[in-house]
Chains A and B, each alone.
Chain A
């Protein structure tokens, strides 16, 4: 157990009374409650924390926030291992287990570092130029490249955690809980608006968390934050979400946020791990702050090289020095605050190296007054030390700042802090597809005009306004203004005040800090740390013509790492602008794509996993089927009884038994899944005329009719029987899988094309349980339990329906058949379904009534050549192709698909037709999907003329039967065709589709 050698004696927001034990690469350390993993590692003197993506360079912690490019850590073990987690954003908890990644065998000794020695041969895009020989060699090379690439290691075990999703609505949404955001939330909340404030950190305060001695309204700044937090908590219409990142700004002011609920507690926490928030706001206030840019100097990736602001955060917020002796490199005044804070905390600052010729600002003077050396007009030209900064070389800049001159000064240090200025966090603004504009004073992109309909305003540092008093005022005004606009009139109070910062001098833009050697020939000037993109790579991209920002990005991979270029994009862009002799805005910006920071897959999926992935639909008597041993199959969302094997029966045996029993006596099937749509209105018949190919006007109430629906392309889309209940009332049935599609189809045509037609559609699929009795004895069974109607053929003919009672329950019976046998479809309310089913089963006992499943249903209908839409059809079959010429209403002026039926190809007589197929060997059952050829060749390619759509063993025909679609099939009756599949060839003869017609099978 090592001591926390860099921990300062006092200060910081950590709780020193609560030590926390954690491990990194198997070694145990202590930190304090309130530490991040990064601060705790720094406190323990651990500066080497990872290896870079490509060159496997040793890397340390660069930042103190979401922009971290280097310190990517595997958190947790086993099924909770989470790769690529940013160390500054990992909150320490007792027992936290962490590991470095992308190294082998160890972080300290990584064989992959050989890439670094050979880095000269691996510039950007080297892989496009090589690995081309031999012709099939790429898969070989790729294996090694893949192993070298990747970062952390994903778990191969199922994620054990739960995730949650929720919607939120508010008047004013504030993103960012720094001074501007808090001020905005306070003002809007006081006025009475519904406010949501989200912040990604564990506590509110934003940049104030990193300040040493700022005050607001005369109080210490964090006291003001605490008071504000209490005030917000007391407002019933205000919700504050910490540890919540707004990662996507979607259309119409909807923001996606992820709330990390238990990540800071560890795996033993109860409840969901993370929650996805979709928040729709009337107005969004973006107070997202800004991110410091590192300087691009030679060897700027050594462990110990850090952002100046991050150094401040570690000292002030975490009470930890990043090292023992610090050199600061800057082009602006803000880094001097770091120097002063370090001095105040007693950390040695060896020097501040300033790129500016003669910095004289107030903070510079204050720094000098503290006795810290300021080396002006100079640059760091080298950073020495492989796994830890040991020393820097400093040289004077030439007059134009493009090179260095004079003697070299060596300064011993273990940490280099750099500041290249600040870039407002414009990500969310940009995600709305609004533009960003270049600000010549700040040398940074600031938000441009907002997109219409995306009601947002950027305030504070996110807008490029850095003074604390200004941030507080802007935030307050934005919050108050939004509330006012939405009619909330309570007093918003006045803005909090703060002392003005000392006046700052302008920064000196210097996008590459020169070294004593040309860029690319000495040390490396890293732009994108994680992806190992250097200034020389940007120059190479320029040389090779990858000039547009997107080409630069894609060719060098700059900005495409897990940090998405938060610290590198502007630097790379500016270097490219310099090379092209253009202004930065002329070169353009890359698109900011969501998410702001990477978001766990699991939280998008939320609780909709496993059985909740897609609703499972069951019929009202599902349990009866299960109790009677049914095997089930998935049909769309439904679980349908497939067959009912008895003890010792195979599927084949069971299906044969069910099919035989139905043809010979009586079978019963649960057809409740059939789609059912209630259609009412004076234009109902007119509408059916348009959506079905046949005529409906003259169908009498009490009668049923079979129909095909076609798409605009004339192809069969769905089928079913529709019955006229009354003059203006129809009951439509659809296929099981097509029910929702058909209802949407009807609604689409009604709403988009014929909105003036008076007709209404209501899904009643689940309002009726449907049991079909099939077979010669079905009438005898039904007679025993029906009352109120005469079931005789004369009184109740085929294709009609009657209301009655079955087993004492109000029922509607349809005389329709999908098996070709005598059939009654009994419809009852679902709550009585089991009672009626049982009554039918008892009544049928003497006739050996046999429940049958979908497989037997398929065989029974195939024996009579009845089609199933989706099996015999595939979106390319017309009713005519299926042999239903008669179902086309020739006298009708129009119906959907009619025009397409007139097209030359659709009207061709030799299209593919539905036919029967009888194998020469009657025992051979063809696989469905087998392709049909006229002439067999030794090997492919062979010309296919069709395929098998349905194929079964028919116990009633006592042979195999198949249906197929074959080119010009109806004119090829009796012809022999061949089916090559699975290494064999089966011969079959084209036949009619009714396999039970006298002698049909025998004649084949």
Chain B
């Protein structure tokens, strides 16, 4: 068992100048073989390993990470958590994740700072309002909290928003998910890593997969920069590089990898308590506990594996921000970065089997993977352990691109298309 984290252990350790804290996870040497290898040490991969151990009793598991754990999109997103999705399939999947988030801090004994400060989606045109009502009614009938706000209610919740009728795109209303909010992204990865490690999972950082060992259509293990490692089952959870890994295993994915940029302002005292998203004017923003405004917008149109994007995306997004929030004009951009998002044609993820037996894949989360972290790991662990998709994952199988059973969430991805 790991040391418990609590106010009491914190005080006790303080008395000893914090000399006795244990390492959060080990740095073990790879074993020759594992029951399950999870490729990808981001949030989704670590969650998968954790739930494999916790819910399915499979502890002879390795997570292979080519860099440092949580270093991909897990550490690069804008930390928004919500489940206000249009279609039933997505709503249930993301709600499953949101519910796991609601108990995650206690489950992991690691404060992931899940802050349900509410999440607002603004509507600026008649058309926006129609789409917004449709979504809210659907979400409500799926048993998920959602409500419609008038401009007056919006103004009251976020007084610094420009709600004037003379705005270029006047705010006509908003949907609000009160249970939505933000969580500390690194803590989610670290919390899962720590607890997975506690249950015996080997987290192998700086271990890059360079190939698969496949015999007669059945996966037997992987080749890595630290030598071959055998496995009975393998799960690929590598986001932006899914297509690369699938290529190594000999199949193709309907996935495009695009840069997605984000930025933060310098920290200031609390000024914005709600997550505000505007798909029309095209920006989303929240304020972190540290005081930084955290901003995102849309993907770069071109495909790329480089974690940088075009500067014009940033300009447009700050145009939108300073138009919605005229008082933010004098704040400053502190840091700006990009991640690589794996997007599917229908803006929904792929979870399930691949053409290679015992090789499973979980990808295509596009611009919205962080919020799904626990849910994704949970259903993927089930899928790997049972060899059959979790009920919530069934609609998200790879073969939907053959059948045409698409789950088109372009509208709900928070990005205007």
Contacts and interface: CB of A to CB of B under 8 A. Distances in A.
Interface of A: 53, 79-84, 120-121, 123, 126-133, 135, 138-139, 142, 145-147, 149-159, 161, 248, 250-251, 254, 256, 278, 433, 518, 520-521, 536, 540, 543-548, 550-551, 554-555, 557, 560, 562, 564, 591, 593-595, 598-602, 604-606, 608-614, 616, 633-635, 712-715, 737, 870-871, 874-876, 900, 903-907, 927-931, 933, 939-942, 944, 947, 980-981
Contact of B115 (A139, A256, A278): A139
Interface string B386-413: 0000000000000010111110101100
B205 A548 contact: yes
A544 B326 CA distance: 43
Given A127-B113, A138-B105, A929-B134, A595 B333 contact: yes
A905 B405 contact: yes
Nearest to A933: B141
Interface string B282-298: 00000101110000000
A546 B24 contact: yes
A930 B169 CA distance: 25
Given A139-B116, A248-B311, A929-B131, A940 B140 contact: yes
A293 B263 CA distance: 27
A106 B162 CA distance: 32
Interface string B1-34: 0000111011100100111011111110000000
A82 B330 contact: yes
Interface string B113-145: 111110000001111001111111110111100
Contacts of B187: 128
A150 B138 contact: no
B329 A600 contact: yes
A604 B18 contact: no
Contacts of A599: 332-333
Given A127-B111, A149-B290, A614-B168, A80 B330 contact: yes
A550 B6 contact: no
A562 B184 CA distance: 19
Interface of B: 5-7, 9-11, 14, 17-19, 21-27, 67-69, 71, 75, 88, 103, 105-106, 109-111, 113-117, 124-127, 130-138, 140-143, 159-160, 162, 167-169, 184, 186-187, 190-191, 205, 265-271, 281, 287, 289-291, 306, 308, 311, 314-315, 318-323, 326-337, 345-346, 400, 402-406, 408, 410-411
Contacts of A551: 68-69
Contact of B269 (A147, A251, A545, A604): A147
A154 B328 contact: yes
Nearest to A119: B14
Given A554-B75, A713-B404, A940-B140, A928 B134 contact: yes
A601 B75 contact: no
B179 to A, nearest CB: 11
B411 A874 contact: yes
15 contacts: A83-B268, A131-B111, A146-B270, A146-B289, A159-B330, A545-B25, A555-B190, A562-B334, A593-B337, A600-B331, A613-B169, A634-B169, A714-B404, A905-B403, A931-B141
B204 to A, nearest CB: 13
A604 B318 contact: yes
A547 B11 CA distance: 24
Nearest to B338: A593
B138 A947 contact: yes
A13 B220 CA distance: 73
> Among B23, B167, B266, which residue has the most Cβ atoms of chain A within 10 A?
B266
B205 A610 contact: no
Contacts of A601: 265, 318, 321-322, 328-333
A871 B95 CA distance: 27
A740 B336 CA distance: 30
Given A130-B5, A604-B315, A947 B115 contact: no
Given A613-B168, A947-B138, A142 B334 contact: no
B345 A713 contact: yes
Contacts of B131: 929
Given A132-B111, A560-B335, A562-B334, 16 more contacts: A130-B6, A133-B6, A154-B331, A251-B308, A545-B23, A595-B335, A600-B330, A601-B321, A613-B281, A614-B168, A635-B127, A713-B345, A903-B402, A905-B403, A941-B142, A944-B141
> Among A128, A149, A612, A931, which residue has the most Cβ atoms of chain B within 10 A?
A128
> Among B115, B167, B328, which residue has the most Cβ atoms of chain A within 10 A?
B328
Given A123-B18, A554-B186, A633-B125, A544 B24 contact: yes
A81 B110 contact: no
A941 B143 contact: yes
B314 to A, nearest CB: 6
B266 A142 contact: no
Nearest to B20: A543
Contacts of B117: 139
A929 B133 contact: yes
A156 B329 contact: no
Given A604-B315, A616-B168, A905 B332 contact: no
A422 to B, nearest CB: 24
Contact of B266 (A129, A151, A944): A151
> Among B19, B320, B331, B346, which residue has the most Cβ atoms of chain A within 10 A?
B331
Contact of B5 (A84, A129, A595, A927): A129
Contact of B10 (A126, A560, A595, A981): A126
A130 B7 contact: yes
A256 B311 contact: yes
A815 to B, nearest CB: 29
Contact of B404 (A53, A84, A900): A900
